[in-house]
Amino acid sequence: MAKVIEGLFYSESHEYVRVEGNFGFIGITDYAQNALGNVVYVDMPDVDDEVTAGEEFGAVESVKAASDLISPVSGTVVEVNEALDDQPELINQDAFANWIIKVEMNDKSDLDNLMDAKAYTAFCEK
């Protein structure tokens, strides 16, 4: 079973959000990185780009497949995880420690549309 962390918010497209104040750290879940296999490239937006809940903001490519990244919340990108430019495999090592983008959220009510750890675990078991 893939690792799921309490206190995060999860989307049906297997992204997570770790909330700190008005900021959301967005990455892919352990379940997603397991399904993808060895990650070889992460396509990220630029700082100051706007992301919209439910819409694509980038992609993760592995030796097996490419997968679009769907933003679980709306907001402005304030930071990208530049370590992933040179070491995309960090996502395979620890998907939760290696977030992809940090967003200043426009509306925290976006979180109401996401799952908690328990609901996400049940979703993945289906």
For the stretch 28-83, pLDDT in tens is 999 999 999 999 999 999 999 999 999 999 999 999 899 999 999 999 999 999 99
Query: If you average pLDDT over every residue of the chain, what do you get?
Result: 97
Q: Is 12 helix (H, G, I), strand (E, B) or coil?
A: coil
Q: Report pLDDT for 1.
A: 67
Q: Report pLDDT for 40.
A: 98
What are the distances in angstroms from CA 26 to CA 62, 70, 111, 126?
18, 10, 12, 24
Closest CA to 59 of 72, 73, 45: 45
Q: Report pLDDT for 36.
A: 95
The DSSP result for 24-66, as a single string, is: EEEEE-HHHHHHH-SEEEEE---TT-EE-TTSEEEEEEESS-E
Q: Report pLDDT for 123.
A: 97
Q: Report pLDDT for 2.
A: 86
